[in-house]
Amino acid sequence: MEDLRQHLAAVEDLHAASELLGWDQNTMMPPRGGAARAESLATLGRVTHELFVSDETSRLLEAAEQALGDADAGSDDASLLRVTRRHLDKARRVPSRLQAERARAASVGQEAWVAAREHSDFSEFAPYLTRNLELAREYVDCFDGFDCAYDVLLDDFEPGARSRQVTTLFAELRDELVPLIAQLREHEGAVRDSCLHGSFEIGKQRALARGLVALMGYEPDSWRMDDAVHPFAAGIGGGDVRITSRWDPSFLGSGIYAAMHECGHGLYEAGVGDELRRTPLGHGESLGIHESQSRLWENMVGRGRPFCNVLAPRIGELFLGSPDGLDPDELYAAVNRVAPSLIRVEADEATYGLHVVLRFELEQELIEGRLAVADLPEAWNSRVQEYFGLRVPDDASGALQDVHWAAGLIGYFPTYALGNLIAGQLWARAHEDLADLDDHIAAGELAPLREWLRDRVHRHGAKFRTDELLSQVVGGPIAVAPFVDYLKAKLGAVYGTSL
């Protein structure tokens, strides 16, 4: 077991190096370093993959499996063997060459995406997306036993999830959201967010965000916060968690919430038990669980009424010259205003789900060849018209807005909406377990919630499957109702109507 642990630790060390190279590429790297970085990431990915799928891993794993036997199924060791076996059986099906090409194409694709997005020209980016899709199909062909191509890709981000199940959950969600949004449209104008628009010096926004994430658990000794075109979080290793945000000098409602969102991811990475570090269990489990953490902190805490008691005076102090300058109720309404919009990461909680459904549909069509890459902007734009009633003015606000496909991440988007659903379940449960939760949050005391999450979710890392973990914490599988109930209660209060 110890030999296996050491061997797997080396694999994790190389993963950490890749993670850092990726972080650097998106925050620090000079623009012309992209080509060399792509090569470095490709080689590092290939070498890591080769080390993991080596006969050595198989040999050590088999020996450890035999030594452990059926004893102690709930132990860390047993989980480690189960998870490693699952990863190894998957990884051994993928040739190193393909792994390296996907990494290289992802790196080059991100560079191309940054430029194409700047020029708002999808055609510049199309060849890179085509390449990523080709490689994704080659990847799919390495597997059997799945119902469809998309399931293979989805399984990498949400282990065990299947598109049939996601389709069902999303249908239920859509059937709740569409009438809800229609009903709110009748109250258009009842909620204004003018207090979020204006002139907000970026330095002050950064300082505000630093204060908020400090309440959440950001520690300067083991965290960093930087700027990035597309905000993300990275767990580099024990004692090294990095988050990013981006700042709009004329809108306050985006940068600080992106920072809280990424800090939610960061807390998950930071909270993994030390005994699981440098093992395959040492990071968050599925992306759905990961996203549940970020969305819970961003929306349920950050946009909740109690936290507005903390946030409003800080905004007032920084930007209006007085802590009383902004009414917490006005802030609460503003940050929860529902308005169909073009950009997913800036969408309100009610319409957010539809952004994900749109991408879930389009990427299924792309991977199955039912939609040509060249036709993507048109398909995107017409579906945005259909779902949101909005015209897409340019590709930067349309099919070029997200980095995921550029980075070869196909099958990733559903995890965002699943994360919202899981967050709804955890949020309801936290309120059952922590009687004074809202009072604590209103006083800026976020430690009780963080520690509850750490105990129930974070410390386990990838020890449990999503369904196992949810069963332990909330007593059942992913469900739509808690999220929708939460949303209706909040928006009903904000819009002063029964939903």
Residues serving a catalytic function are: 262
Tell me which stretch binds its own copies (CB under 8 A): 12-20, 116-124, 253-261, 351-359: 12-20
Cα 420 to Cα 39, 135, 213, 435, 482, distances in angstroms:
36, 30, 20, 23, 10
Rg of the chain in Å (alpha carbons): 22
Identified binder of its own copies from the candidate list 3, 28, 164, 275, rule CB under 8 A: 28
If the CB atoms of residues 29 and 493 are measured against its own copies, the closer one turns out to be 29
Region of residue 160 (phi > 0: left; psi between -120 and 50: alpha; otherwise: beta):
left
Closest listed residue to residue 142, CA positions, set 86, 106, 89: 89
- Give 86 or 459: the residue with its C-beta nearer to its own copies: 459
Rounded Cα distance, 256 and 318, in Å: 13
Nearer to its own copies, 35 or 343 (CB): 35
Binding mask 333-372 for its own copies (x = CB under 8 A): ----------------------------------------
Nearer of residues 271 and 482 to its own copies, judged by Cβ? 271
Token pair 């914490």 is found at: 473
CB atoms within 10 A of CB 203: 9
CB of 213 to its own copies, least distance (A): 14
Residue 432 CB-density burial (10 A; 0-12 exposed, 13-18 middle, 19+ buried): exposed
Q: Which stretch binds its own copies (CB under 8 A): 34-42, 79-87, 353-361, 440-448?
A: 34-42
Question: Is the Cβ–Cβ distance between 11 and 48 less than 8 Å?
Answer: yes
Determine the Cα–Cα distance for residues 84 and 35; give it in Å rounded to an integer: 33
The reply on whether position 33 binds its own copies by CB under 8 A is yes
Q: Which stretch binds its own copies (CB under 8 A): 32-40, 165-173, 389-397, 459-467?
A: 32-40
CB 446 within 8 A of CB 216: yes
CB count, 10 Å around CB of 386? 10
CB-nearer residue toward its own copies: 34 or 316: 34
**Site track for its own copies across 233-272, x = CB under 8 A:** ---xxxxxx-------------------------------
Q: Smaller CB distance to its own copies: residue 226 or 365?
A: 226
3-state helix, strand, coil in the chain (%, to 5): 65, 5, 30
Applying CB under 8 A, among 21, 140, 177, 399 the residue interacting with its own copies is: 21
Query: For its own copies, which residue of 8, 26, 37, 234 counts as binding (CB under 8 A)?
Result: 37
Scanning residues 101 to 120, which ones bind its own copies (CB under 8 A)? none
Q: Least CB distance from residue 260 to its own copies, whole Å?
A: 19
3-state secondary structure of 434: coil
Residue whose tokens read 């370093």:
33
274 binds its own copies (CB under 8 A): no
Instruction: Report the residue number, 39 or 329, with the smaller CB distance to its own copies.
Output: 39
DSSP SS3 for 44 = helix
Contact with its own copies (CB under 8 A): which of 4, 8, 34, 253? Answer: 34
The binder of its own copies chosen from 278, 355, 463, 465 (CB under 8 A): 278
Choose one: 19-27, 175-183, 310-318, 425-433; the region binding its own copies (CB under 8 A). Answer: 19-27
Binding string, residues 209-238; x marks residues near its own copies by CB under 8 A: -----------xxxxx-----------xxx
CB–CB of 335/385 below 8 Å? no
Q: Indicate the helix (H) or strand (E) that contains 26.
A: helix 2-27
DSSP three-state, residue 244? strand
Strands 223-227 and 240-245: parallel
Any contact of residue 47 with its own copies (CB under 8 A)? Answer: yes
Q: Of 479, 374, 380, 384, which is closest to residue 426 (Cα–Cα)?
A: 479
Q: Would you state the structure tokens that stand for residue 318, as one six-digit string?
A: 């920084």
CA distance 309 to 298: 15
Binding to its own copies in span 49-68, by CB under 8 A: 51
Which C-beta is closer to its own copies: that of 51 or that of 148? 51
Minimum gap (Å) between residue 126 Cβ and its own copies: 25
Binding site for its own copies (CB under 8 A): 9-10, 13-14, 16-17, 20-21, 24, 28-37, 39-40, 42-44, 46-47, 51, 220-224, 236-241, 277-278
